[in-house]
Amino acid sequence: MRTELIFSTLAGIETELLAVLAADTQTAKGPDAKPAPALLTSDEAVKTAAAAVLAGGEFKAGANETLLLHAPAGLKAKRLLVVGLGKAAKATAHSVRSAAGTAVRFAKPRGIRAVVLALPESDVVNGAASARAAAEGALVGDYDPDTYRSDRKDLSVQSFTLAAPASADKKALEGAFAEGTIVGESQNFARELVNEPGNKLTPTVLGQRAAEMAQEVGLKWEVHSTEKLHELKMGAFWSVSQGSEEPPALIVLRYEPAGGAPKDSPVFGLVGKGITFDTGGISIKPADNMEKMKYDMAGGAAMLGAMRAIALLKPKVPVIGIVCAAENMPDGKAQKPGDVQTAMSGKTIEIINTDAEGRLVLADGLHYAKQLGATHLIDAATLTGACVVALGMVNAGSFSNDNETYKKFDGALEISGEKFWRLPLGDEYMEMIKSDIGDIKNTGGRWGGAITAAEFLHVFADETPWIHLDIAGVAWVEDSRPYIAKGPSGIAVRSILEWVRSY
């Protein structure tokens, strides 16, 4: 999709579809209070074109609600689409992101290939933040997962234009819009990887895709396999891959700021779980929904998407990205419940359940990131069903061993708009994963499963400031929404990026 920012009056824009945002300005409460939709534009021609239908009461400006007008009087646009943001008092740049996605997804099945969105003019939504969010939302909204349909028709919106008033701060909007384009494309890059089936995206191919991206955006890269895992004594990582015909891939990407990092700069280690297909191993999963286990590398994809955005947005801190990619398969060579594995750190791990494999690859990934010089760690993984039970498919889980580090992440969420809920850590949970035969067990039982999994990783992060993101419930969109297609969400790319940039 081509993206463009223009400064123009709306009435004179020739386009297939002009989208304008509206909010419900009603402040009264009670049974007699009716919605009061108002367009967030100062363009009188647009207001006049939509006045009669807005006065009719049919359109209430609810979040992502749409109203289409054909051949609007006084406008050169062929169609006028009004998209709701919900209550004006609650509208934010995140509402604009969803509305932009809604406009693009509205256009796609109708054969509309060019969309112009009017930047909302309102005291409640910041212009620059809205410009960035609009670009992100449009790109994310345009993505569909039907990659392998033999009768696939390209319904993509070919161009998305954001129209700002001529009086707007040109420099601020141009910078924000360019950022949004990079972030939206990086989120889609992660989604494309997650969407690939396990027979197409093996660990080796994931390594190749990561290397291609790194070369494109100027990152240093290395991709290693079995020999390197043995050399580094990554026994936890190797134990997951040993049952598969497909070799593992240890993917390492490096970003260095131009001119070098400032003195005493932190070094960030981004570690992602890259299980390209997860059968559960010997502790095999039920057949129902196992096909979705191609998405078990969504944490690794999030790290690759974040590294892409970091390379292009160039923060002044060094970043190391590590993805531990493997297949978890049942085979004569596969590890068994009861086995004891030795991690790269020297810690011994009793395998209770071979389907608790993500924490094994991350254990070695976290330790390796520290060896490479990382002073701050963040990992992302579709790690536990327990986190989905706790938080549903609305919030992802987050954990941290350092309040100041997490405070930075909390601030990043205000920019990214992604929903994470912090869950606790504690010695009582650590007791639940102590092993009789080794140091720790790879599961702590049914209760508090997301927390004991986080405590397992805490062992390997140790005292290094660290954040763990359990994205199992939100990495896959189960049903299409007005602003995003069913399928991979690309969760955590924006939040990880903003966490790094906050330093």
How far apart, in whole angstroms, are the C-alpha atoms of residue 58 and residue 122?
23
What is the per-residue pLDDT for 154? 83
How far apart, in whole angstroms, are the C-alpha atoms of residue 379 and residue 359?
10
pLDDT along the chain (503 residues), means of 10: 97 97 90 90 96 93 97 97 96 97 97 97 87 98 95 90 95 98 98 98 98 98 98 98 98 95 93 98 96 97 98 98 98 98 98 98 98 98 98 98 98 98 98 98 96 98 98 97 98 98 96
Q: How far is CA 167 from CA 6, 40, 472, in A?
A: 12, 15, 45
The predicted-structure confidence for 231-273, as pLDDT tens digits, reads as follows 999 999 999 999 999 999 999 999 999 988 888 899 999 999 9
Query: What is the homologous superfamily of the domain 185-501 according to CATH?
Result: Zn peptidases (3.40.630.10)
Q: Is the pTM of this model over 0.75?
A: yes
Which residues are identified as catalytic?
Answer: 285, 359
Neighbours of 68 (CB within 10 A): 14
Return the closest-CA partner of residue 494 out of 16, 107, 132.
132
Helix (H, G, I), strand (E, B) or coil at 363: helix
- Measured in degrees and rounded to the nearest 5, phi and psi for residue 232 equal -85, -5
What is the per-residue pLDDT for 486? 97
CATH code at 2-142: 3.40.220.10
Helical segments of 250-319, H only: 298-313
**Which residues fall within 8 angstroms of residue 286, CB to CB, at 6 or more apart?**
none
At 419, which amino acid appears?
Answer: K
- Please, are residues 334 and 241 in contact by the beta-carbon 8 Å criterion? no
Return the closest-CA partner of residue 316 out of 78, 92, 503.
503
* Domain assignments of the chain as residue spans, ordered by start: 2-142, 185-501
From the centroid of its chain, how far is CA 323? 15
The predicted-structure confidence for 49-106, as pLDDT tens digits, reads as follows 999 999 999 999 999 999 999 999 999 999 999 999 999 999 999 999 999 999 999 9
Segment (H or E) for 18:
strand 17-24
